[in-house]
Amino acid sequence: MIHEIVITQFRKMLGNLLTILDEGEAYATHKGFDVDVLLRARLAPDQFDLIRQIQIACDNAKMAAARLSGTEAKVPVHPDTEKTLAEVKARIESTVRYLGEFAPTDFAVAAERRISQPRWKEKSLSGTEFVVQYALPNFYFHVTTAYAILRHNGVPVGKKHYLGELPFKE
C-alpha cells in the first residue's frame, strides 16, 4: 500500500492542487487583483504563506518517496526560490514527474526500512510508522492548508477539487 499512498495518491493530490491554483488564478483575474496576493496569503501572521505551504507539501511527497525507496542520495534539489504562480506550478509539476519515476517494486522493503532525517539526529521510525504517522499527516496538513488559504480568500473551490475523481466501479 506504500506505493499507492506515496506515489499514486500524492501525485493525484498534487494534480488536484494545480487545479485549485488555476481556480485561484481565475478568481484573481475575475476580481481584478494580482494573483500574487493569494500566493503571499496566510491564515495567521506566524503561519507559512501559500507558496511555502506548497513547497513543503512537494517536499513531503518527494522526500517520502526518496527515503522509503532508499534513494535519498539521488533526490533532486529544489532551492525554494519560487515567487510567481508559474514557478509554483512548475515546482508541483517537477515533483509529480519525479514521483512518476518510481515503480511499486522500489518500495518492496519500504515497510521494514529504518527511516531518519537530519533533524532527527540518530533517531528513526520504521517505514510503516514514517508513512502513517509522519508523511501522511504532514502532506495532507500542507495541502489542506494551501486549500484553506484560497478558500478563506474567496476562491470558489470545494471538496471535489480537493479529492479529485474516485475510481468507482458500477
Q: Does the protein bind a copy of itself through residue 112 (CB under 8 A)?
A: no
The answer to whether residue 47 forms part of the interface with a copy of itself (CB under 8 A) is yes
Assigned C-alpha cell, 49? 504563506
Is residue 162 a contact residue for a copy of itself (CB under 8 A)?
A: yes
Q: State the residue for C-alpha cell 533533524.
A: 119
Task: Work out whether 4 is an interface residue with a copy of itself (CB under 8 A).
Answer: yes
Three-class SS state of 164: coil
**Contact mark string toward a copy of itself, 70..109, x via CB under 8 A:** ----------------------------------------
CA distances from 156 to 12, 38, 117 (A): 20, 13, 38
> By the 8 A CB rule, do 156 and 28 touch?
no
114: enclosing H helix or E strand: strand 114-115
Q: Is residue 117 near a copy of itself by the rule CB under 8 A?
A: no
Q: Does 124 bind a copy of itself (CB under 8 A)?
A: yes
CB 29 → a copy of itself: shortest distance, Å?
20
Between CA 25 and CA 36, with CA 31 as vertex, the angle to 5 degrees is 45
Between CA 13 and CA 5 the distance in angstroms is: 10
Is 148 one of the binding residues for a copy of itself (CB under 8 A)? yes
Nearer to a copy of itself, 18 or 43 (CB): 43
CA distance 122 to 22: 42
**Least gap, CB of 74 to a copy of itself (angstroms):** 26
Helix (H, G, I), strand (E, B), or coil: what is residue 97? helix
For position 37 contacting a copy of itself by CB under 8 A, the verdict is no
Residue ranges that bind a copy of itself, judged by CB under 8 A: 1-2, 4-5, 8-9, 12-13, 43-44, 47, 111, 114, 120, 122-125, 128-129, 131-134, 136-138, 140-141, 144-145, 147-148, 151-152, 154, 159, 162-164, 166-170
